[in-house]
Amino acid sequence: MTKRVLIVDDSLAARMIIRQYLEIVGCAGAEFTEAKHGGEALEALKQHPYDLIVTDMNMPVMDGYQFIRRLKASPKFNTIPVIIISSAANKDNRETFMKYGANFVVSKPISPATLNKAVKETRVFED
């Protein structure tokens, strides 16, 4: 069964890089959907189920905090693993991100190796 990944970032370049890195680390067979902010991501979730969400935190319209709060408040979506990619991923912020419901936090700039570690820990792509 094809896995679905939702990539949420206001930067087109960042979304492209995240997608390329996900394909490099073993998610090449996945179906990817991209959203520019949390509001678009919530709309995408209404259309299709997703197996993994990779999101930025600093976005216009609806930031990552609001998005994750709404996601985790929904019984329909609260079990979807969330990987946060953030330039503000210091120790205090990591704890805050985890408190909001993130499963993993990856610091920017990202590399395929750090993203691979987070994806493997979600166990979404295990057979």
pLDDT tens per residue across all 127 residues of the chain: 899 999 999 999 999 999 999 999 888 789 999 999 999 999 999 999 999 999 998 888 988 888 999 999 999 999 999 999 987 766 777 788 888 888 999 988 899 999 999 999 998 888 6
> Is 119 in contact with 3 (CB distance < 8 Å)?
no
Does 110 reside within a domain?
yes
Q: What is residue 62's predicted lDDT score, i.e. its pLDDT? A: 84
Does 96 reside within a domain?
yes
> Is 41 in contact with 72 (CB distance < 8 Å)?
no
- The CATH number of residue 97's host domain is 3.40.50.2300
As a three-state string, the secondary structure of 72-86 is: HHCCCCCCCCEEEEE
Does 20 reside within a domain?
yes
Domain count, the chain: 1
Q: What is residue 47's predicted lDDT score, i.e. its pLDDT? A: 95
Does 9 reside within a domain?
yes
Which residue type sits at 64? G
Does 15 reside within a domain?
yes
Q: What is residue 81's predicted lDDT score, i.e. its pLDDT? A: 96
Q: What is residue 89's predicted lDDT score, i.e. its pLDDT? A: 64
CA distance 126 to 57: 27
Does 127 reside within a domain?
no
> Is 5 in contact with 50 (CB distance < 8 Å)?
yes
What is the domain extent for residue 20? Answer: 4-122
Structure tokens at 20: 């390329």
Q: What is residue 127's predicted lDDT score, i.e. its pLDDT? A: 65
